[in-house]
């Protein structure tokens, strides 16, 4: 939001973090493990950092993707219960995405491999760690020079160690990152001679063009991108950046664009080259708007206009690549975008080389390794944090080649497709259970520390390899550190020395408390154009189908998050589908195929065939169908296995030496008989029907400071119900009477006498991108159960905080526009839910909250019926038992009731946080400070769209934002007097335009 808090609201937490981390060595011995402890033993000598009832915070680093965000891990009684961003970390600045937060469900996943196992025929046999290490060592010794390692681990000390270890064993190691931005790196190498990924400063850009780069979800560090994007594109100080999305399908990023240009798949390069040409890049004169128009199917005027706008805005930013744009010509596209950024003067401004974001070794390296396996070059293969059997399309034949290695070892935490083919399972510690570090980009090294005792009998792979090396002897004997922790500390002592710190121990403790070492980014590296020879190759597709097949990345990434109920239950930000995969078809294509939502379509490419239910999506070209990646696991635990279809089955193998082209096949699409399966989605009716729920106003009006009401008056449309003046008077009088009637009796409509605070929230829709990080934060904080596929079909999901996504336009002549509204309990002053409860389970607190007393609730559900916002959720079954199979229950927040079946529940504005902060203030004998209480949703929101605070305090941030002229209440006419104020979204003129040939 425009009002930045003067001090980061993290003081108490930061204090606790330091406390926790300085005694972190004690953490490893505190807590208790389900697998070992059978008796409850009270503390005789209380450990210093464990006070029952008081959370301890540890700094750590997220390893869920390559971004390497900093974490603050909240632990209670020796259990990690909540992950939040580390405010000091330069990448995520205290925020965390859905996947990062869901790491807890990776930690406590009931399908984790509980101990080392060895294959015994077709079954698995549990063995002791000593035995397991001996078996590994026995194979390693004779396999000298014949060891293959496939690692998905990000860069860091372990990666270095693994590299050295593999080298010492004479083997080969490949870092496999399935959704690597390989094309971007190849283009950087080609154009600038830099084989690395640049960082991007979205916040600075005044004009952003993305060629298929889904930077809010799956392209680069999404939390950082989103913060930058919200800073640039969120309305503030009378202005905002413009964002154009050029791709065949609107991803979540595309839905946030002011203009979505639906180009033919694979033709983005022509568009980019035309822009580069217009921006003055040399040698591209043949790429005229007309030429690009012919290739892309977009009118030449559109291209010319965008080129003009792009050139006029300084600085601007163009980005490209990612799965949705990874056609065979993706490297050309990214090279063209490099030239465009260069010509527009963005290099060094918004495109920052030298950051060197981490990435894998690429498809070619994996292909070479697989070929080696095929030829019997390897005796032993070790797979660590990678699942290539799943992430490689079936057509590559990877699994068959992998099988040929005589001894296969996996360190997977969950039995995934690759581990299922292995002979020995050496389950590693979760990142929250081990010592480690991560180097996601230049200047940033994050530390990880064990925040609790391991959940199962697992072992950090570093320790496994060190021990096995000692046993195997030979060239591996030089890895003689007593433990992985010691090894890591030794390396950090080296880092301390290199940084000129005399006190290595102090440096270590300090870094641990901070979460790592975050150096100021160096000035961006200067790059020169090495080769401007970029051409455009007309896209070619395999297969004879009518539709180009476009896999897309959604919340499951490359499939690694599909075993987490939080992520499965979270509705896809675009389609709002949960728990299963789908195929998106445009309305016109649906008519052509004669298919309606939920009817099963069979997609057939030259490489395979899948069957998935149809979802009609207007943000898609008519000649394209799109299926999310990450489903169709055959293994990977109870939640992931046999769920949905694997989109990779339709893809062909990569060309020799190249990356895996995701947009490369055409598919035949036909109805699979009359099969039907109701799509489990959380979307009811995606149209506002003139109800003023998700408001928007044009930039010109917002810049003038017009209020929403004034603007509506200006265009001659009423905002809400129209009343003649006499009625307005009457309504006003009646409201006044309601307030006045009980004055002096201590209570005015939900506002008790006295100096109680009045809690309220403001949500800026111009910053909200619909990413849904708030939803997962709410699940984690408030012990919200998942209900599963069948109950989602019946609309029973328990999303206290949900993101409503309304469509505007979308017909032939009107551009499609998406409006995201985070919807939660509005904590009405005049709440309809309260008077109807026969037992006072729903009641009003003195500080303006709609309380819900679970113990008192008998479950008449009248409150749910009478809530106009429909934000009350009922426990239809024993979700509290079903949703938290052990050890998932260890994640539950002890400060929040786990609701029994038969009771109503809803958002409480995180009352446990409110009361916690109030108690702390009371103990410290001081007033509460504004910003001290942050609800879980506001805490997680990467674009900082949610602000919570005391509305009565006129200087509070929330009170200031509530005075914004864009502010409005949803369903104002119902006279509920909500405590949540929304700030209208701001639209560029002609927003949401969709040009298509």
Partner 1 sequence: MATVLRSKIEPVMTQTHAEVTRDIVRTLETPPRSYYLAVFGAVFLLLIGIVTFTIIIKDGLGHSGYNPPVMWSVYITTFVFWVGIGHAGTLISAILFLFRSPWRTAVYRVTEAMTVFAVMTAGLFPIIHIGRQWIFYWLLPYPNQRYLWPNFKSPLLWDVFAISTYLTVSTTFLIFGLIPDVAAVRDKVTGWRRFIYGQLSMGWQGTDNQWRHYSRAYLYLAALATPLVLSVHSVVSWDFASSIIPGWHGTIFAPYFVAGAIYSGVGMVFTLLIPLRKHLRLEHMITDYHFDNLSKLTLLTGSILFYSYSMEYFVSWYSGNTFEQTTFFLRPFGAQWWSGWTMITCNALVSQLLWFRKIRTNLTSLFVISIFINIGMWFERWVIIVSSLSNDYVPWAWGVLNPTWSDWGILAGSFGWFGMWFLLFARSFPIVAIQEVKEMIPMPRLHPDAHGGH
- In the complex with partner 1, the residue whose CB is nearer, 51 or 839, is 839
- In the complex with partner 1, the residue whose CB is nearer, 688 or 918, is 688
SS3 638: helix
The torsion defined by the Cα of 465, 467, 471 and 473, in degrees rounded to 10, comes to 60
Task: Print the SS3 string covering 97-120.
Answer: CHHHHCHHHHHCCCCECCCCEEEE
- The least CB distance from residue 241 to partner 1, in Å, is 28
The torsion defined by the Cα of 598, 602, 605 and 606, in degrees rounded to 10, comes to 160
> What are the strands, taking DSSP E only, across 776-912?
802-808, 817-823, 842-844, 850-852, 872-874, 904-906
- In the complex with partner 1, the residue whose CB is nearer, 686 or 698, is 686
Contact 249, 619 (CB under 8 A): yes
- In the complex with partner 1, the residue whose CB is nearer, 676 or 862, is 862
What letters, b where the CB count within 10 A reaches 16 and e where it falls short, cover 624-647? Answer: bbbbbbbbbbebbbebbbebbbbb
Phi and psi, residue 473, nearest 5°: 55, -145
Q: Which residues pair with 318 in a beta bridge?
A: 209
- The least CB distance from residue 630 to partner 1, in Å, is 25
- The least CB distance from residue 859 to partner 1, in Å, is 2
Give the position of tokens 């580390």. Answer: 86
- In the complex with partner 1, the residue whose CB is nearer, 564 or 802, is 802
What's the rounded Cα separation, in Å, for the pair 434 and 456? 13
What's the rounded Cα separation, in Å, for the pair 221 and 99? 12
What's the rounded Cα separation, in Å, for the pair 119 and 313? 61
Query: 632, 666, 634, 672: which is closest to 652 by C-alpha?
Result: 666
- The least CB distance from residue 786 to partner 1, in Å, is 14
- The least CB distance from residue 936 to partner 1, in Å, is 22
- The least CB distance from residue 985 to partner 1, in Å, is 16
DSSP-derived secondary structure for 856-880? T-----HHHHH-TT--EEE--S-HH
CA distance from start to end of the chain:
38
- The least CB distance from residue 722 to partner 1, in Å, is 8
- The least CB distance from residue 871 to partner 1, in Å, is 8
- In the complex with partner 1, the residue whose CB is nearer, 604 or 782, is 782
Task: Print the SS3 string covering 436-466.
Answer: EEEEEECCEEEEECCCCCCCCCCCCHHHHHH
- The least CB distance from residue 822 to partner 1, in Å, is 12
What's the rounded Cα separation, in Å, for the pair 710 and 916? 41
Residue 687 burial by Cβ neighbours in a 10 Å radius (0-12, 13-18, 19+): exposed
- The least CB distance from residue 578 to partner 1, in Å, is 15
- In the complex with partner 1, the residue whose CB is nearer, 650 or 821, is 821
- The least CB distance from residue 901 to partner 1, in Å, is 4
- In the complex with partner 1, the residue whose CB is nearer, 53 or 838, is 838
DSSP category for residue 152: -
- The least CB distance from residue 718 to partner 1, in Å, is 11
- The least CB distance from residue 737 to partner 1, in Å, is 18
DSSP category for residue 786: P
Q: Is 241 left (phi over 0), alpha (psi -120 to 50) or beta?
A: beta
- In the complex with partner 1, the residue whose CB is nearer, 733 or 835, is 835
- In the complex with partner 1, the residue whose CB is nearer, 752 or 876, is 876
**Size (the chain), residues:** 997
- The least CB distance from residue 695 to partner 1, in Å, is 14
- In the complex with partner 1, the residue whose CB is nearer, 142 or 746, is 746
- In the complex with partner 1, the residue whose CB is nearer, 484 or 869, is 869
- In the complex with partner 1, the residue whose CB is nearer, 155 or 681, is 681
- The least CB distance from residue 978 to partner 1, in Å, is 12
Query: 104, 44, 45, 98: which is closest to 79 by C-alpha?
Result: 104
What's the rounded Cα separation, in Å, for the pair 433 and 539? 47
- In the complex with partner 1, the residue whose CB is nearer, 704 or 870, is 870
Give the position of tokens 């009350």. Answer: 872
Contact 64, 567 (CB under 8 A): no
Contact 946, 935 (CB under 8 A): yes
Query: 462, 565, 401: which is closest to 162 by C-alpha?
Result: 462
Query: 223, 296, 213, 210: which is closest to 66 by C-alpha?
Result: 223
What's the rounded Cα separation, in Å, for the pair 401 and 647? 21
- In the complex with partner 1, the residue whose CB is nearer, 610 or 792, is 792
Per-residue tokens: 345: 């003067």
Contact 580, 680 (CB under 8 A): yes
Q: Where are the alpha helices (DSSP H) in 725-832?
A: 725-741, 773-782, 789-793
- In the complex with partner 1, the residue whose CB is nearer, 672 or 853, is 853
Q: How many separate helices (H) and strands (E) can be counted in the chain?
A: 34, 40
- In the complex with partner 1, the residue whose CB is nearer, 449 or 852, is 852
- Applying CB under 8 A, which residues contact partner 1? 683-691, 693, 721-722, 791, 794-796, 802, 804-806, 823, 832, 835-840, 856-862, 864-866, 868-870, 873-878, 900-904, 971, 974
- The least CB distance from residue 857 to partner 1, in Å, is 7
- In the complex with partner 1, the residue whose CB is nearer, 112 or 802, is 802
């Amino acid at each position: 939001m425009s009002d930045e808090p003067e001090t980061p609201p993290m003081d108490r937490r930061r204090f606790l973090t330091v406390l926790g981390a300085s005694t972190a060595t004690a953490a490893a011995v505190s807590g208790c493990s389900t697998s070992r402890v059978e008796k409850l033993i009270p503390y005789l000598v209380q450990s210093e950092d464990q006070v029952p009832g008081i959370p301890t915070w540890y700094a750590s680093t997220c390893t869920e993707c390559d971004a390497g965000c900093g974490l603050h891990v909240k632990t209670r009684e020796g259990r990690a219960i909540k992950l939040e961003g580390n405010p000091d970390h330069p990448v995520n600045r205290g925020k965390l995405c859905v996947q990062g937060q869901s790491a807890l469900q990776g930690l406590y996943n009931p399908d984790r491999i509980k101990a080392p196992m060895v294959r015994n025929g077709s079954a698995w046999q549990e063995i002791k760690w000593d035995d397991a290490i001996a078996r590994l060592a026995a194979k390693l010794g004779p396999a000298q020079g014949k060891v293959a390692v496939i690692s998905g681990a990000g860069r860091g000390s372990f990666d270095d160690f693994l590299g050295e270890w593999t080298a010492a064993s004479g083997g080969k190691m490949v870092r496999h990152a399935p959704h690597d931005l390989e094309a971007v790196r190849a283009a950087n190498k080609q154009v600038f001679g830099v084989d690395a990924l640049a960082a991007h400063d979205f916040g600075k850009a005044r004009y952003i063009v993305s060629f298929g780069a889904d930077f809010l979800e799956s392209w680069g560090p999404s939390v950082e991108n989103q913060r930058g994007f919200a800073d640039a594109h969120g309305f503030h100080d009378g202005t905002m950046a413009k964002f154009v999305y050029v791709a065949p399908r609107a991803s979540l990023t595309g839905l946030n664009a002011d203009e979505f240009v639906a180009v033919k798949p694979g033709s983005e390069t022509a568009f980019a080259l035309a822009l580069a040409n217009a921006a003055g890049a040399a040698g591209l004169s043949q790429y005229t708007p007309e030429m690009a128009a012919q290739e892309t199917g977009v009118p030449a005027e559109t291209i010319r206009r965008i080129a003009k706008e792009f050139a006029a805005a300084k600085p601007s930013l163009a980005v490209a690549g990612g799965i949705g744009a990874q056609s065979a010509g993706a490297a050309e596209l990214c090279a063209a975008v490099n030239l465009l950024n260069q010509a527009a003067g963005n290099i060094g401004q918004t495109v920052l080389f030298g950051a060197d974001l981490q990435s894998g070794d690429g498809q070619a390296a994996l292909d070479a390794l697989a070929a080696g396996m095929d030829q019997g070059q390897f005796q032993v293969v070790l797979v660590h944090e990678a699942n290539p059997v799943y992430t490689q399309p079936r057509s590559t034949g990877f699994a068959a080649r992998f099988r040929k290695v005589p001894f296969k070892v996996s360190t997977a935490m969950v039995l995934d497709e690759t581990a299922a083919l292995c002979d020995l399972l050496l389950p590693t510690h979760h990142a929250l259970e081990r010592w480690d570090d991560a180097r996601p980009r230049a200047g940033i090294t994050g530390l990880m520390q064990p925040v609790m005792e391991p959940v199962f009998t697992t072992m950090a792979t570093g320790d496994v390899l060190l021990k096995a090396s000692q046993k195997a002897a030979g060239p591996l004997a030089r890895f003689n550190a007593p433990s992985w922790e010691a090894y890591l500390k030794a390396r950090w002592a080296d880092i301390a020395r290199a940084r000129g710190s005399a006190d290595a121990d102090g440096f270590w403790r300090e870094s641990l408390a901070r979460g790592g070492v975050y150096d100021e980014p160096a000035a961006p590296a200067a790059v020169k154009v090495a080769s401007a020879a970029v051409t455009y190759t007309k896209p070619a597709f395999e297969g004879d189908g009518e539709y180009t097949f476009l896999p897309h990345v959604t919340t499951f990434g490359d499939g690694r998050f599909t075993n987490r109920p939080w992520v499965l239950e979270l509705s896809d930000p675009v389609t709002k589908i949960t728990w299963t995969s789908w195929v998106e078809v445009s309305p016109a294509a649906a008519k052509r195929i004669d298919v309606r939502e939920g009817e099963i379509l069979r997609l057939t490419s030259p490489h395979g065939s899948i069957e998935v239910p149809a979802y009609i999506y207007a943000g898609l070209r008519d000649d394209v169908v799109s299926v999310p990646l990450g489903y169709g696991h055959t293994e990977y635990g109870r939640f992931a296995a046999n769920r949905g279809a694997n989109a990779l089955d339709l893809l062909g193998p990569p060309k020799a030496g190249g990356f895996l082209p995701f947009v490369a096949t055409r598919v035949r699409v036909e109805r699979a008989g009359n099969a039907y399966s109701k799509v489990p989605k959380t979307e009811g009716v995606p149209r506002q029907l003139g109800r003023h729920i998700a408001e928007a106003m044009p930039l010109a009006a917002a810049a003038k400071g017009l209020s929403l009401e004034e603007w509506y008056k200006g265009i001659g449309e009423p905002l809400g119900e129209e009343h003649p003046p006499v009625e307005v008077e009457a309504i006003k009088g009646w409201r006044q009477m309601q307030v006045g009637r009980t004055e002096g009796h201590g209570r005015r409509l939900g506002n008790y006498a006295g100096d109680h605070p009045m809690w309220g929230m403001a949500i800026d829709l111009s910053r909200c991108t619909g990413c849904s990080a708030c939803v997962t934060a709410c699940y984690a904080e408030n012990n919200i159960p998942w209900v599963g596929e069948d109950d989602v079909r019946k609309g029973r999901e328990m999303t206290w905080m949900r993101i409503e996504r309304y469509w505007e336009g979308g017909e032939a002549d009107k551009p499609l526009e998406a409006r995201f509204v985070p919807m939660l309990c509005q904590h009405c002053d005049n709440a309809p839910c309260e008077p109807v409860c026969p037992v006072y389970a729903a009641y009003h607190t003195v500080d303006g909250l709609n309380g819900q007393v679970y113990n008192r609730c008998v479950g008449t559900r009248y409150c749910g019926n009478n809530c106009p916002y429909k934000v009350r959720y009922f426990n239809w079954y024993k979700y509290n038992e079903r949703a938290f199979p052990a050890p998932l229950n260890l994640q539950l927040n002890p400060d929040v009731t786990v609701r029994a079946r038969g009771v109503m529940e809803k958002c409480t504005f995180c009352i446990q946080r409110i009361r916690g902060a109030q108690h702390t203030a009371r103990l410290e004998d001081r007033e509460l400070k504004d910003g001290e209480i942050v609800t879980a949703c506001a805490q997680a929101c990467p674009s900082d769209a949610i602000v919570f605070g005391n509305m009565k305090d006129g200087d509070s941030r929330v009170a200031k934002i509530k005075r914004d002229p864009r502010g409005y209440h949803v369903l104002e006419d119902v006279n509920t007097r909500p405590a949540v104020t929304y700030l209208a979204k701001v639209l560029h003129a002609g927003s949401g335009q969709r040009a298509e040939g």
